[in-house]
Amino acid sequence: MKTRERILYKSLELFNELGEPNVTTLLISDELEISPGNLYYHFKSKSDILINLFAWYENEMGALLEVPDGILDIEDQWFFLHLIFETIAKYRFIYNDVVHLIKQHESIRVRFNRIVKKKQHASLKILKSLKKEERLNATDDEIEALCENIVQTATFWLSYSVLSDAQLPDDSLARGVYQVISLVAPFLGKEQRDQLNELKTAYL
Task: Give tens-digit pLDDT for 58-105.
Answer: 999 999 998 877 656 777 888 888 899 999 999 999 998 888 888 888
Instruction: Look at residue 200 and tell me whether its pLDDT is greater than 60.
Output: yes
C-alpha 185/C-alpha 109 separation (Å) is: 32
Q: What is the pLDDT of residue 28?
A: 97
pLDDT at 167: 56
Q: Sign of torsion, CA 105 110 114 117?
A: positive
Domains and their CATH numbers in the chain: 3-42 (1.10.10), 49-203 (1.10.357.10)
The one-letter amino acid code at 24 reads T
What's the pTM?
A: 0.88
pLDDT band at 165 (very low <50, low <70, confident <90, very high): low
* Host H or E run for residue 167: none
Q: Does residue 3 register a pLDDT over 90? A: yes
Q: pLDDT digits over 38-54, tens only?
A: 999 999 999 999 999 99
- Least confident among 4-13, 100-109, 142-151: 100-109
DSSP three-state, residue 188? strand
Q: Angle, nearest 10°, between helix axes 25-32 and 46-64?
A: 80
